């Protein structure tokens, strides 16, 4: 990529896409194609085809997707598999058909088996059963990976796939019905602090372990891989460390400044016992995450306070 390259970021209004745009601009790339969902419905094949035939971007970051936490995945399985399959199929095919030089597909750590070895290497893909609470989303993302690999093998299209761990940061979704655990806990602790509540309820046992990557680290990694990696193999992006959900809750309680108690709703599911990425492949390329968890949570909470009232779910 050069500063003159025409770059399309699909999903720029979302958490990951917004971070990719920030990383591109920080690196000096300003010739960006950005379209909101209102301007371009990526699930509509005809609209996507028209967009690519007119704009003909050189590089494509495919960060658009329907995303959500355990509740959203369980409640809307049809939307999660249908919309994500449509979006990625339309964008990948039209990018190749209209001469894009390279495409980066953003996957997810949920593609790996529920009982995958820990930390999870890229090679464990399709070696076991998926976590049932998000299998619809995972199946769609696996199909996107395979589509990128197929278009590389059959057509020589330079499509690469990046698998981020759990993301958080500015622009996150704080809707308690659809948010992932970290932003949901930030909102719950903040509301409890403001309301003077004596306790905050946490789903499940608190024992599952999760890895969290600040979204600006993800944006930096995506630009790095677009510029420096070309291959059939998928690449994990994470920090290589995890924490229990209970410990995460304690960090967030401290950052928010909430003095009440944490109680547990054991009727709610835990999800996968552990999800830690093996980032050996990415480290060998020379990239490493820079934002620590407590620092990142403090930044995210500050952003939440600055934007409360006009952010998703608040």
Q: What is the pLDDT of residue 313?
A: 52
Q: What is the pLDDT of residue 312?
A: 56
Does the reported pTM lie above 0.95?
no
Nearest residue to 62 (alpha-carbon basis) of 225, 212, 228, 231:
225
In a domain, 301, yes or no: no
DSSP state of 120: B
What is the helix (H) or strand (E) element at residue 235, kind and residue range? strand 235-237
Q: What is the pLDDT of residue 180?
A: 82
Q: Which of 8, 112, 137, 151 is catalytic?
A: 137
- CATH number, domain at 19? 3.40.50.720
Q: How many domains does the chain have?
A: 1
Please state the residue numbers annotated as binding site for NADP(+). Answer: 11-17, 106-109, 141, 164-167, 180
In a domain, 267, yes or no: no
Is 137 designated active site?
A: yes
Q: Are 294 and 251 in contact (CB under 8 A)?
A: yes
In a domain, 300, yes or no: no
Q: What is the pLDDT of residue 122?
A: 98
Q: Which domain holds residue 225?
A: 7-171+212-241+275-291
In a domain, 22, yes or no: yes
Burial class (CB in 10 A: 0-12, 13-18, 19+), 259: exposed
Please state the residue numbers annotated as binding site for substrate. Answer: 188, 203, 210, 270
DSSP secondary structure string, 40-61? --TT-HHHHHHHHHHH--SEEE
Rounded to 10°, the helix 181-195/245-256 angle is: 40
Digitized pLDDT (tens) for each residue of the chain, 314 residues in all: 999 999 999 999 999 999 999 999 999 999 999 999 999 999 999 999 999 999 999 999 999 998 877 777 888 899 999 999 999 999 999 999 999 999 999 999 989 998 899 999 999 999 999 988 889 999 999 999 999 999 999 999 999 999 999 999 998 988 877 778 899 999 999 999 999 999 999 889 999 999 999 999 999 999 999 999 999 999 999 999 999 999 999 999 999 999 999 999 999 888 778 889 999 999 999 999 999 999 999 999 999 999 987 765 55
Q: What is the pLDDT of residue 199?
A: 95
Please state the residue numbers annotated as binding site. Answer: 11-17, 106-109, 141, 164-167, 180, 188, 203, 210, 270
């Amino acid at each position: 990529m050069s500063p003159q390259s025409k770059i399309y970021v699909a999903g720029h209004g979302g958490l990951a896409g917004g971070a990719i745009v920030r990383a591109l601009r920080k690196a000096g790339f300003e010739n960006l194609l950005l379209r909101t969902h209102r301007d371009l419905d990526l699930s509509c094949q005809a609209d996507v085809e028209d967009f690519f035939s007119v704009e003909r971007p050189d590089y494509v970051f495919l960060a658009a997707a329907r995303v959500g936490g355990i509740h959203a995945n369980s409640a809307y399985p049809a939307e999660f598999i249908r919309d994500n399959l449509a979006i990625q199929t339309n964008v990948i095919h039209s990018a190749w058909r209209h001469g894009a030089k390279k495409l980066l597909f953003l996957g997810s750590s949920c593609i790996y088996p529920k009982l995958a070895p820990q930390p999870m290497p890229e090679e464990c893909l399709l070696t076991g059963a998926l976590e049932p609470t998000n299998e619809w989303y995972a199946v769609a993302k696996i199909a996107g990976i395979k589509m990128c690999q197929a278009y590389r093998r059959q057509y020589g299209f330079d499509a690469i796939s990046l698998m981020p761990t759990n993301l958080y940061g500015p622009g996150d979704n704080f809707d308690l019905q659809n948010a992932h655990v970290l932003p949901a806990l930030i909102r719950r602790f903040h509301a409890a602090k403001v309301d003077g509540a004596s306790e905050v309820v946490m789903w499940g046992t608190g024992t599952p372990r999760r890895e969290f990557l600040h979204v600006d680290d993800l944006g930096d990694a995506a630009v790095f891989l677009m510029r420096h990696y070309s291959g059939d193999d998928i690449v994990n992006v994470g920090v290589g460390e995890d924490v229990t959900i209970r410990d995460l809750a304690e960090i967030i309680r401290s950052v928010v400044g909430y003095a009440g108690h944490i109680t547990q709703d054991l009727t709610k599911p835990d999800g996968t016992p552990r999800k830690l990425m093996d980032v050996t492949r990415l480290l060998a390329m020379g990239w490493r995450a820079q934002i620590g968890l407590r620092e990142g949570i403090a930044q995210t909470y500050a952003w939440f306070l600055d934007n409360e009232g006009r952010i998703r779910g608040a």
